[in-house]
Amino acid sequence: MNRRSFVRHTVHALLGAVGLLTLGGLVAAPASADPQFTVKIASVAPEGTPWASGVTEFKKQIEASSGGRVVVRPFLGGVLGDENETVQLCQRGQIQGVGASTGAIASIVPELNVLELPFLFKSAEEADYVLDKSILTYVEKAFRDRGLVLGFWSENGYRSFGTRYGSIHSPADLKGHKLRSQESPVHLEMYKQFGASPVPIPTTEVLTSLQTGVIDGYDNTVLFATAAQWTSATKFYSLTNHIYQPAAIVFNKAFFDGMPADLQAQMLAPRAALMQKMRNEIRAMQPFLLENLKAMRITVYTPTAAERATFEAPAKLARDAYMARASAGEKALYAQIQTGIAAYRKAHP
């Protein structure tokens, strides 16, 4: 399959899946003979995305390794609610798992807010090192303290600005414009320092808000913006890469702890392989999806180094302002993140 055919195939899968899910389609597990445990996993990511692929692979592996004792039922495309809603459903035990961004999980585990401070990581590889080697033990305890169990990391990726009105060269281009913000205090603080007027609304309301002019734009990854069809109401996409946003598959702690030890181990066994698989697939799709934006007559703009530097001062103000009122737990995690970043940069000068 050549490059252009791959783009058409990928985007068709992404957008076609959204249409099916809008009509009520679900990805359901086949019936299993006398399953002991059913794991309902919700995500706003639609079928056809690396997220769906990762959840499907997890389903395949755990159902096989458990000999049918565990059945996994994915609910994709936001059919069970927005990210914040499904994270809360998982914590309450109304569903057993959720795949969500750290921005949403932070509504339950607030320490995670510091992972999304603007311009925190210089590269995805640096973020991988911190997530996998520097903070994993601390984060796992923070999850358990809030009734959740970390299954494995994935990512949403680097967020950039999609707008209806023009390319973003500097924070001045955001000033006074109504931009959709994720419902996260870190994101709201960033928009404040960038001079924009943030409008915190769920992902499920963004497309209509763009079409009706309630908002002038948003920030998100090109993958999510394409899958959610936000790009159909976007005229400009500017690669500011201002926030690296991790994501995770998490489980309800009471449910997880109620499983026999062997099944608990099997639930976590795919962690390393699936984590890397999802990251690789998400990152590999970026250039093809950007090519598709251009085919849709969306102007794709990459800020120059000088233009990107204009974001540094307000980004630091956002980080400092947030950390000044951060909880002790957030400050402790932030310190570990900084230690991990320093170690990575020393090893990769």
What does the pLDDT look like over 280-326, one tens digit per residue? 999 999 999 999 999 999 999 999 999 999 999 999 999 999 999 99
Query: Mean of the pLDDT values across residues 9-34?
Result: 41
CA separation for the pair 177, 167 (Å, rounded):
13
Residues 6+ apart with CB under 8 A from 200: 180, 181, 182, 183, 187, 188
Which amino acid, one-letter code, is at 6?
A: F
Q: Which long-range contacts (CB under 8 A, 24 or more apart) does 277-284 make?
A: 277/53, 277/54, 277/57, 278/50, 278/51, 278/53, 278/54, 278/154, 278/155, 279/124, 279/128, 279/154, 279/155, 281/50, 281/53, 281/54, 282/50, 282/154, 282/155, 282/157, 282/223, 283/124, 283/157
Cβ atoms of 205 and 125 within 8 Å: the answer is no
Q: Is the confidence at residue 19, as pLDDT, over 70?
A: no
pLDDT at 95 over 70: yes
- What are the two backbone dihedrals, phi and then psi, of residue 251, each rounded to the nearest 5 degrees? -125, 155
DSSP bridge partners of 158: 244
CB neighbours of 261 closer than 8 A, spacing ≥ 6? Answer: none
CATH code for position 296: 3.40.190.170
Q: Are 186 and 117 a contacting pair, CB within 8 Å?
A: yes
Query: What range defines the domain where residue 24 resides?
Result: 3-347
Phi/psi at 44 (nearest 5 deg)? Answer: -80, -10
> How much is the pLDDT for 246?
95
* pLDDT 10s digits, 138-185: 999 999 999 999 999 999 999 999 999 999 999 999 999 999 999 899
Domain count, the chain: 1
Residue 322: φ, ψ to 5°: -70, -45
User: Would you state the pLDDT for residue 33?
Assistant: 54
**pLDDT reported for residue 233:** 98
